[in-house]
């Protein structure tokens, strides 16, 4: 949460122009392009966090696919082999 606030504060420091109803098309596009650039920089800086989130999603998906019946039958097979 604190990182997001820091990112927002750094974005404000970079003087991103504010857009209003009276802004021209060029002003709007300029502000949009600056924000896109900032987002791309932030995404490039956090590949480790993305990898961690991806791994967590994969673990959750695998655990949700395991059904109670499958677990019980697997345990039964293990008991038989012992």
Q: Indicate if the pLDDT at residue 13 is higher than 80.
A: no
With beta carbons less than 8 A apart as the criterion, state whether 17 and 28 touch: no
With beta carbons less than 8 A apart as the criterion, state whether 28 and 19 touch: yes
- pTM for the model stands at 0.40
Which residues touch 14 (CB under 8 Å, ≥6 apart)? Answer: 34, 38
With beta carbons less than 8 A apart as the criterion, state whether 17 and 27 touch: yes
pLDDT band at 22 (very low <50, low <70, confident <90, very high): confident
Question: Where along the chain do its domains lie?
Answer: 2-81
Q: Indicate if the pLDDT at residue 4 is higher than 60.
A: no
């Amino acid at each position: 949460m604190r990182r997001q606030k820091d990112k927002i504060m750094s974005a404000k420091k970079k003087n991103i122009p504010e857009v209003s109803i009276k802004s021209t098309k060029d002003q709007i596009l300029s502000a949009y392009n600056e924000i896109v650039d900032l987002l791309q920089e932030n995404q490039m800086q956090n590949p480790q966090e993305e990898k961690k989130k991806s791994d967590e999603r994969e673990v959750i998906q695998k655990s949700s696919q395991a059904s109670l019946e499958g677990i019980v039958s697997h345990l039964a097979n293990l008991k038989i082999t012992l």
